Amino acid sequence: MDTVASPLPDDVEALKALLAAALSRADDAEARLAKARARESAIEAMIAHLKLQIARLRREQYGASAERSCRLIDQLELQLEDLEADACENDCAAEAAAAKTSEVAAFERKRPSRKPFPEHLPRERIVIPAPCSCPSCGGARLSKLGEDITETLEVIPRQWKVIRTVREKFSCRDCETITQPPAPFHVVPRGWAGPSFLAMLLFEKYGQHQPLNRQAERFAREGVALSTSTLADQVGAAAFALMPLYRRIEAHVLDAARIHGDDTTVPVMAKGKTDTARLWVYVRDDRPFAGSDPPAALFHYSRDRRGEHPRAHLASWAGILQADAYGGYNELYAPGRQPAPVIEAGCFAHARRKFFELADVEGAARRRSRGERTGMIYPIALEAVQRLDALFEIERGINGKTSAERVALRQERSAPLMADLHAWLAAQLAKLSRSHDLAKAINYMLRRWDAFTRFLDDGRICITNNAAERSLRCVPLGRKAWLFCGSDRGGQRAAVLYTLIQTARLNEVDPQAWLADVLERIAGHPAHRIDELLPWNWRANAGVLSQAA
């Protein structure tokens, strides 16, 4: 019946039938709309998933195609999370709408294949009781044909427990002497915190950027009320107990012939304000030239960025320093420096960044679309980026080869490109005014040309300082959570714990499991065998402890 062209009937039953038909059509329309929305959400989620896969594959195969590629991948991951959640929500809405009608089928989204759950997880078997009789005929002669298993991942909330260590007293009936076993070791004298609890506390604060007040709030919700000051006592005592390991990592890093150096800002509390302090990092990583020594990261804290700090950090060290053009390093490069002058190696990533900012076509278009002011896009800067990218492409192909192989391939492939680059930069500089932004970017390289060409004759040198920047990444991430250090001592303590955690990560060791084992063993461990507790040795001797912890 056409409800528009025909007049409404006067019969009640006919009106009911008409209303039922209208409701049915409304349900069908609603189901089709929900199905369309679910299909659209699934398509958007699949597109985002494929974009993320492409970005990751490009980064793995070709390296960073732009300075912001890592940040873009992070944004894609966040976008994919929301799109996947939207798609699942719309899928459920489509199923609910389709259940109201018999004509429209629910939309079934094709999800990426899920990997099986890890084998080391314990399995709990729950068997649904079988029927006692056949549902069809009522017969009792049932025979088992097989079974279908559905696995569901579940989590048990964190369990707290109190360990009561009993020390029995005995008296000798002969001499009346009372004997008792010694008390167990605690990091804090007469302390109460176990090693696993301390490791979790340290890793959450310095590895996952959760301040102690947030941890205390979470503990209280779990039924264990601990004040922030009480937790802070444990952190300070644990840092003190771990200092021998920090000193051994420091000695290991400064024993290298080549290290990466960098620094970043860290706010620190002052009277009525915050000052801008610094965290310095020195990274030893011989893996790019197939070195056998384990990697390590050494952090230092200072209240300011004066050049006296890196000079004090590297006072007894001499070798190749890969760093940016910070003027505080200049005295280290002086010819008369004792015990020997430090050799400067330039960072092509810093040099490329200066040109990239002047050739960021995509960024300029983005700013223009937002109505913001945009700088000029210089063809010279774009060509400089392309020339530097050719050098990066060669380095990606020789990464992991021995030092001798790297030198041979660099002399064959990179040396001609560097000669052409020098001539081209000099020619472009002659066309520009001294105050031009491009002239500053060109002079950054030309004035340090010896430092930038040193990698051609030494296979141990990398062309970037990215090893130090990667190790420093934990600090900017943490700043968004803990905002500032409470004092200079807090900054120094952060440097100690960052050193331990980042070194464990560089050696592919679970930092929390390693800290828990070390805090349990360090009191009774012989001092002359302290190297056995370092992350690279700990992994070799206790490879399965990471999962057990």
In the three-class reduction of DSSP (H, G, I as helix; E, B as strand; rest coil), residue 170 is classed as strand
Q: Is the confidence at residue 494, as pLDDT, over 60? A: yes
- 90, burial (CB in 10 Å: exposed 0-12, middle 13-18, buried 19+): buried
Average pLDDT over residues 322-336: 90
Residue 103 lies in a domain: no
If one counts the domains in the chain, the total is 1
Q: Is the confidence at residue 65, as pLDDT, over 50? A: no
Task: Read off the pTM.
Answer: 0.76
| 274: β partners | 269
Residue 434 lies in a domain: no
Residue identified by tokens 């597109």 is 47
Spatial contact of 1 and 21, defined as CB atoms under 8 Å apart: yes
d(CA 104, CA 87): 19
pLDDT on residue 547: 39
Q: Is the confidence at residue 205, as pLDDT, over 60? A: yes
Distances (CA, A) of 265 to 262, 276, 325, 491, 492: 11, 6, 17, 11, 14
pLDDT, tens digit (0-9, with 9 covering 90-100), for 221-254: 988 998 888 888 888 888 888 999 999 999 999 9
Distances (CA, A) of 87 to 13, 38, 53, 114: 42, 6, 19, 17
Ranked by mean pLDDT, the top range of 74-88, 215-229, 481-495 is 215-229
Spatial contact of 261 and 333, defined as CB atoms under 8 Å apart: no
The contacts of residue 251 (CB under 8 Å, 6+ apart) are: none
Residue 59 lies in a domain: yes
The confidence band for 68, taking pLDDT boundaries of 50, 70 and 90, is very low
Ranked by mean pLDDT, the top range of 63-72, 244-253, 356-365 is 244-253
The confidence band for 474, taking pLDDT boundaries of 50, 70 and 90, is confident
Spatial contact of 406 and 289, defined as CB atoms under 8 Å apart: yes
Ranked by mean pLDDT, the top range of 40-44, 67-71, 480-484, 501-505 is 501-505
Distances (CA, A) of 420 to 171, 222, 393, 411, 416: 88, 65, 16, 14, 6
Residue 57 lies in a domain: yes
pLDDT, tens digit (0-9, with 9 covering 90-100), for 264-314: 988 887 776 778 889 999 999 999 998 889 999 999 999 989 999 999 999
Range of the domain at 25: 12-98
Residue 80 lies in a domain: yes
Spatial contact of 414 and 391, defined as CB atoms under 8 Å apart: yes
Residue 488 lies in a domain: no
pLDDT, tens digit (0-9, with 9 covering 90-100), for 522-533: 888 888 899 999
Q: Is the confidence at residue 535, as pLDDT, over 90? A: yes
d(CA 514, CA 391): 39
Residue 21 lies in a domain: yes
pLDDT on residue 3: 46
Question: Cis bond leading into 135, ω under 30°?
Answer: no
Residue 405 lies in a domain: no
The confidence band for 21, taking pLDDT boundaries of 50, 70 and 90, is confident
pLDDT on residue 370: 67
